[in-house]
Amino acid sequence: MADDSQRNFRSVYYEKVGFRGVEEKKSLEILLKDDRLDIEKLCTFSQRFPLPSMYRILVWKVLLGIIPPHHESHALVMKYRKEQYWDIHHALRVIRFINDSTPQVDIFLRIHQLESGKLPRNSAFPLEPEDEVFLAIAKAMEEMVEDPIECYWLVSCFVNQLNSKHKDSLQQLPKVLEQYLNIEDSRLLMHLKTCAAMSKLPYDLWFKKCFAGCLPESSLQRVWDKVISGSCKILVFVALEILLTFKMKIIALNTAEKITQFLENIPQDNTDAIVSKAVDLWRTHCGTPAHSV
């Protein structure tokens, strides 16, 4: 790599010793310095290392295609995005779908609906399940991003990516989860199967909402790093790690309803650890991601 010369030569050893991501900020800066950003490299980087929070939004925007790879056009494109947002916002106001008191998340939802042409005839119309997913993700994203326009675009593009790119793989995730659970802890799997809870696990929460509302934002960001950079398998491992972490409690519970209820409201205290372990697990099972997207 060309930028390796500029990186600290010790970074290789850092990784060997076990300090992951000591120099990633610098290397990320190098990556971001390129005109015409190399999206593949960014993807690889994002999969390999946790993103520094100050560059996270930028990287996400680039990866999700909200802004083009050329630095020159960033301002222009963002201007467009902004105008587009406000146009739609205005339109929605005009047609009285939103008003001043409408919560931001709902605004996002309406804008998305309108943009995708799925705006209902009336705002009182009941929400579709995909709208619920959007709302959950938007809520989580709202916590992470300050600017509402950026937030909207991120949410919208994220959801679009989920729906387009990962649609097929998302449906297979439950099976994959079962498979890995069998490898990691067959006893827990047996328990879950005997409770008939395997089919009732909160897959929607985990795989469709990508843990939005399940994990706190700080942890969620790291999961989403991987998802946005193209690997939705991380979701399986986060779910697996959650199951393993709360194994004792889950084994103590006997009915599928209780298990589901518990898993939907897991304690939020050590989610960082869970995510870290999940990332490790993901690495061990899927290997360190190379330049493959």
Partner 1 sequence: MAQQGSVGELLSMLDSPILGVLEDITAAFKDNLICDRGPMLVNNLVDYYLETNSQQALHILSTLQEPHDKHLLDKINEYMGKAATRLPTLSLLGHVIRRQPSWKHKLSQAPLLLSLLKCLKTDTDVVVLTTGVLVLITMLPMIPQSGKQYLHDFFGIFGRLSAWCLQNPGHVAEIYLVHLHASVYALFHRLYGMYPCNFVSFLRSHYSMKENLETFEEVVKPMMEHVRIHPELVTGSKDHELDPRRWKRLETHDVVIECAKISLDPAEASYEDGYYSVSRKLGTSLKHHQTDPSASYYIDTQSSYGTSTPYSTPRLTLSQMPGQLPQILSPQSIQPSAEPQQVTIWSPSAVCGMTTPPTSPGIVPSESSQSASQPYSKAFGTSAGGKGTPLGTPATSPPPCTSDDFVHVSLPSAAATPPKKEDKPDPGRPLLYRQQNVINSDKSLDTPGSKSSVALSDLPEFLGGLSFEDSAEKDREEDAISKEISEITTDAEHMVPRGGFDSPFYRTNESLSGSQKKTHSVVSSVQGHSQTSEPLTSSLDKPGPESARETPKQTFTPIDKPCGGSGESPAGNREGTSGETSILTPSPCKVPAQRRVVFGSGQPPLYEHLFEVALPKTAYLFVGKKTEELLKKAKGTQDDDCMSSTSPVEVLDRLIQQGADAHTKELNKLSLPSKSADWTHFGGSPPSDEIHTLRNQLLLLHNQLLYERFKRQQHALRNRRLLRKVIKATALEEHNAAMKDQLKLQEKEIQALKLSLQKEQARYHQFQDEHENIVAQLHSQIRQLQHDREEFYNQSQELQTKLEDCRNMIADLRLELKKANNKVCNTELLLSQVSQKLSNSESVQQQMEFLNRQLLVLGEVNELYVEQLQHKHTDTTKEFNMLNAALRKELDKAKLCVQQQSQRLDASQKRIAELESQLAKKDHLFLEQKKYLEDVKIQARGQLQAVESRYKAQKRITQAFELEILDLFGRLEKSSLLKKLEDERAEAAEAAEERLDCGNEDTVPGHSEETIGRNGETKPPSTRGSSSSKGGSGSELSTPEKPQHQRFSSRWETSVLLEPSTTVPLTVGSLPSSKSFLGMKARELFRNKSESQCDEEGVTINRLSDALKTELCKDLNMETKAPPSPDNLSLSPKIQESSVGQLHIMDYNETHHDHS
The answer to whether residue 84 forms part of the interface with partner 1 (CB under 8 A) is: yes
Size of the site for partner 1 (CB under 8 A): 30
Which helix or strand (DSSP H or E) is residue 28 part of? helix 24-33
Tokens of 99: 């008003």
Among 17, 95, 183, 190, binds partner 1 (CB under 8 A): 95
Among 83, 204, 257, 280, binds partner 1 (CB under 8 A): 83
Yes or no: say if 45 and 31 are a contact pair by the CB < 8 Å rule.
Answer: yes
Identity of the residue, 153 or 206, whose beta carbon is nearer to partner 1 in the bound complex = 153
The answer to whether residue 77 forms part of the interface with partner 1 (CB under 8 A) is: yes
Identity of the residue, 11 or 116, whose beta carbon is nearer to partner 1 in the bound complex = 116
Identity of the residue, 72 or 280, whose beta carbon is nearer to partner 1 in the bound complex = 72
Helix pair 167-184, 233-245: axis angle to 10 deg: 40
Beta carbons within 8 Å of 46's beta carbon, 6+ residues apart: 59, 63, 225, 226, 228, 229
Binding track over 12-51 against partner 1, x by CB under 8 A: ------------------------x---------------
| 260 CB-side CA count, 13 A | 15
Instruction: Report in angstroms how near the CB of residue 185 gets to partner 1 at its nearest.
Output: 45
Binding track over 109-128 against partner 1, x by CB under 8 A: -----xxxxxxxxx--x---
Task: For 178-193, give the DSSP string.
Answer: HHHHHHH-HHHHHHHH
The answer to whether residue 293 forms part of the interface with partner 1 (CB under 8 A) is: no
Among 22, 91, 251, 256, binds partner 1 (CB under 8 A): 91
How far is residue 37's CA from residue 42's CA, in Å, rounded to a whole number?
8
Distances (CA, A) of 66 to 90, 152, 227, 262: 21, 10, 16, 37
Residues found near partner 1 in the complex (CB under 8 A) = 36, 65, 67-70, 72-73, 76-77, 80-81, 83-84, 87-88, 91-92, 94-95, 114-122, 125
